[in-house]
Amino acid sequence: MVQRALLDTRLAVRRALAEWCLRDDLGGGSAALVLVGLSGGADSLALAAATAYEARRAGLLAGAVVVDHGLQSGSADIAAAAARQAEQLGLAPVIVEQVAVEDGGAGPEANARRARYEAFALAAARTGAAAILTAHTRDDQAEQVLLALARGSGTRSLAGIPQRRRLSETGPDTAILRPFLASSPEITRATTEAACAEAGLEPWRDPHNSDPAFARVRVRERVLPMLVEELGPGMPAALARSADLAREDADALDALAAGIAARANRSIPAGDSDQVALPVAELASLPMALLARVIRVVASRNFGAQLSREHTASIAALVVDWHGQGPVFVPGIRVARAQSQLGFARQTGSPRAPR
């Protein structure tokens, strides 16, 4: 009997590891360590099994990190059971990290995610892991697109969950790899459930994944099934493909914006400047999609600020709708137009205080 789902999960991991090793020049020398982010659910358990099989064939060491969020009764036992499964699969080291999830703020999902990735960073620092693999699937990608649409987001948000990124901009140079987000082979939740069954693995069922208090669960349990019923069974795959296309566009536009910002002000080193001046004439010739990105690049790279659409629109108005208005204040930055230059300056304290 052909174990199609199990083979597909292995192929997805094999391709992701091969591409990562090639890009990061990991051939030769001591074997790098990768850690699987394991909850014990079907997605992460299928990823753990596939990684245990494929990592050694790629000349890598493979372990696991299990995060106990402490959000439900018996969470320590659930984490311990997941750790035992990882050990049975041959993963080592297997680390269990207990975290405290904050209340309030961005909401329980975002708070849990922040705590989880902080635990990943701690595990990577302790073990020297070069990458952490997480088990997001194409179904997760489809849900992410719908959530981004509901927020009225742009192409970067519609691009969904990236297949690869850095774990932290300031911490160890560890990669986050998401093999199950690739378009081929297409890995869905049905695939991971089937892979676990074919491998004789028993996944844990997280009750939070069926709690309608969470927006993602409502999208998963109500919105997507309705779209499938009304528009056809290919809807989740089509949404995930839309994320792929949006990411290609967003990556291209962001690269163009970064190049424009660098050419416009070559003397400014990224990350530590208190003042930046860009020529208005060059900015005024840009389409709005690029102008907004140039503004965000300057804000992020030179001032460490993340701007909303409202922020970038108010700054862009100094270029495209200039009628002598005064400076614009956005978080940590004062932006003003003077002598055909758009000047960015670090703003500390209240903008109403005398300068």
Taken in order of first residue, the domains within the chain and their CATH numbers are: 4-239 (3.40.50.620), 268-346 (3.30.465.60)
Q: What is the pLDDT of residue 271?
A: 47
Residues 6+ apart with CB under 8 A from 130: 24, 26, 32, 33, 34, 174, 175
Q: How far apart are the first and last CA of the chain?
A: 76
Bridge partners, 263 (sequence order)? none
For residue 165, give the DSSP letter.
Answer: E
- Specify whether the CB–CB gap between 149 and 51 falls below 8 A: no
Q: What is the pLDDT of residue 272?
A: 47
Alpha-carbon gap, residue 133 to 39, rounded angstroms:
12
Phi, psi (rounded to 5 degrees) for 68: -95, 105
Alpha-carbon gap, residue 347 to 332, rounded angstroms:
5
Amino acid at 202: E
Bridge partners, 165 (sequence order)? 176
Q: What is the pLDDT of residue 109?
A: 83
Amino acid at 180: F
pLDDT < 50: residue spans in the chain: 266-272, 355
Distance (Å) of CA 29 to CA 25, 32, 93: 10, 9, 20
Residue 205 token pair: 């069922």
Q: What sign has the CA pseudo-torsion 119, 125, 126, 127?
A: positive
Alpha-carbon gap, residue 63 to 58, rounded angstroms:
14
58: left (phi > 0), else alpha (psi -120 to 50), else beta?
Answer: alpha
Residue 291 CA to its chain's centroid (Å): 24
